[in-house]
Structure 1
Amino acid sequence: MTEIDQAAGVLANKRHILVFTGAGISTESGIPDFRGPHGIWTKVDPEDFTITRYVSRPELRIRNWRMHLDGERWGARSGVRPNRGHDAVAQLWRHELLSGVVTQNVDGLHQAAGVPDAAIAELHGNVKTVHCLDCDASWPTEDVLKRVDAGEDDPHCEVCGGIIKTNVVMFGESLDESTMSRAVEFMGQSDAVLVLGSTVAVWPASDIVLRAAFEAKPVVILNQGETEADHLAAAKIDGSIGELLPPLVERLVD
């Protein structure tokens, strides 16, 4: 029996699968992960992604907007597209086999592949929108980048003059309560969990998977390398999501 056979057996006849995704599902779209040999933390200091440093250092905000403008692979103007992994998740949605998608990613590629916003809980936010830290006014990120393009190195809020940032959760910020509640709701409605490209190591996001396992819901993991939840998995597939998820999904939608 292959790993795909085993995973398909666990998920057979499940009609409310919770899909939980991490950085590994988007690497095949060209977005680097964080901790890998070519990850984001090899290029920038993680301390520069703390909210305290972002607010206190204008030069970091200037660099941040410039990286978005220049099309860094994780940025708002990167031009990245969904890959076969995202398309396979969308196929599950079209066949009404999902309770929802809970993602640690901020790239919006699940939506681009066809899963609606209402079916997604983006735990760490989304790079496509911006908000003011003082008055909470918000805009599409592209609107702000047009201002940077026109010469504003460190654009501020047009309403109150406050500091603005993308809706990506930085170190030192709390997760959005309504988004976390939606994720818990998806988990509660699920009858199985499919983990894709996550090491299930970052709390509190990882708690969604742990809760499901505690409630005796079967967990299937597809990831390159070990995860913190391997001991909880009813089935584990080690390898490429883009290569291995589509045949698994074909088995489930037949």
Structure 2
Amino acid sequence: MIASDIRSGVERLGDMIAEASIIVPFTGAGISTESGIPDFRSPGGLWTRNRPIPFDEFVANRDARDEAWRRRFAMEPTFAAARPGRGHRALASLYRAGKTPAIITQNIDNLHQASGFKADDVIELHGNTTFARCIGCGQAYGLPWVRERFEESGSAPDCTVCDEPVKTATISFGQAMPEDAMRRATELAQECDLFLAIGSSLVVWPAAGFPLMAKRSGAKLVIINNEPTEQDDIADLVIRHDIGETLGPFVGN
């Protein structure tokens, strides 16, 4: 059912939240645009300005690694200034109320943690851009460490432990999905009775499979997104309105 207006959509969503025992939110870039972080596919989005650098290119080509880090440093003021929006805070309210055991996200901005979710309860399918890891041994590095060495040498640093490249702790195109996150997301999708897909275009797989998995496992599915998605026809409720405005009434509940 597509909500005819935001008021009726919010009322129906409130009823569904009240009736549910286990609510699993699944978030995409749309929830963070209110926080000042641009999405990837919309006009003016990050991928309309810069071609994504695939993982194999990052590994094989030092110039590609240098470019990847230049882009990340250019985005640092945006990420550093971002604060949780109404959508993040509403979902954190459900978490504090005990309705939401964990959250699944395609986002890499750490805003769910900043809104009040424990780090272990944020299932990051595409990683986290607020720190870096060695792609070989997994050693973690702070971004200031990377930037200092980048500026000293003019190129991206390698790991001090195993000499493999260091990249943001995100999942690039062609890079293996994190096994533990995929397992936990699968369990959550299969166990919940209400699945909220928020701000995701639902075109990036395998992440886009989780709403479908939840629906097939018996959960009710709500999709909140400004634009239509390919899964709207299986959803119990579709709200095509601003995410902050839609979820704002649930902040603090």
What is the TM-score of this pair, normalised by structure 2? 0.90
Q: Which residue of 2 aligns with 1:223?
A: 225
Please report how far the alpha carbon of residue 152 of structure 1 lies from its aligned counterpart in structure 2 after TM superposition: 4.7
Corresponding residue pairs, total: 247
Counterpart residue identity of residue 146, structure 1: E
In 2: Cα distance, 1:224 partner to 1:132 partner: 37
**Counterpart contact for 2:190–2:217, Cα < 8 Å:** no
Answer yes or no: is 1:43 the counterpart of 2:49: yes
Among candidates 197, 206, 209, match of residue 207 of structure 1: 209
Mapping 1:89-100, distance limit 5 Å: 89-100=91-102
In 2: Cα distance, 1:85 partner to 1:216 partner: 25
Q: Deviations over 1:164-214 (max 9, x none)?
A: 111111111110111111111222331111111012221111111111111
Counterpart residue identity of residue 23, structure 1: A
In 1: Cα distance, 2:184 partner to 2:119 partner: 11
Measured at CA, do residues 201 and 69 of structure 1 come closer, stay the same or move farther in structure 2, by a change above 3 Å?
Answer: closer
In 2: Cα distance, 1:36 partner to 1:61 partner: 25
Q: Which residue of 1 aligns with 2:56?
A: 52
Q: Which residue of 2 aligns with 1:32?
A: 38
Secondary structure of 2:83's counterpart equals coil
In 1: Cα distance, 2:189 partner to 2:144 partner: 33
Q: Which residue of 2 aligns with 1:9?
A: 15
Gaps (5+ residues) in structure 2?
1-6
Counterpart residue identity of residue 14, structure 2: A
Q: Which residue of 1 aligns with 2:27?
A: 21
Please report how far the alpha carbon of residue 14 of structure 1 lies from its aligned counterpart in structure 2 after TM superposition: 1.2
In 2: Cα distance, 1:8 partner to 1:132 partner: 44
Q: Which residue of 1 aligns with 2:120?
A: 118
Among candidates 97, 107, 110, match of residue 109 of structure 2: 107
Q: Deviations over 1:11-58 (max 9, x none)?
A: 322131000000100111111111100111111113xx2011112222
Please report how far the alpha carbon of residue 151 of structure 1 lies from its aligned counterpart in structure 2 after TM superposition: 4.2
In 1: Cα distance, 2:9 partner to 2:133 partner: 44
Measured at CA, do residues 90 and 97 of structure 1 come closer, stay the same or move farther in structure 2, by a change above 3 Å?
Answer: same
Secondary structure of 2:84's counterpart equals coil
Counterpart residue identity of residue 26, structure 1: S
Among candidates 165, 168, 175, match of residue 166 of structure 1: 168
In 2: Cα distance, 1:143 partner to 1:16 partner: 41
Counterpart residue identity of residue 58, structure 2: Y
Secondary structure of 1:167's counterpart equals strand
Secondary structure of 1:134's counterpart equals coil
Q: Which residue of 2 aligns with 1:135?
A: 137
Counterpart residue identity of residue 9, structure 1: D
Counterpart residue identity of residue 107, structure 1: D
**Counterpart contact for 2:190–2:213, Cα < 8 Å:** no
Mapping 1:78-97, distance limit 5 Å: 78-97=80-99
Q: Which residue of 2 aligns with 1:186?
A: 188
What is the TM-score of this pair, normalised by structure 1? 0.90
**Counterpart contact for 2:107–2:124, Cα < 8 Å:** yes
RMSD: 1.9
Answer yes or no: is 1:70 the counterpart of 2:70: no
**Counterpart contact for 2:107–2:126, Cα < 8 Å:** yes
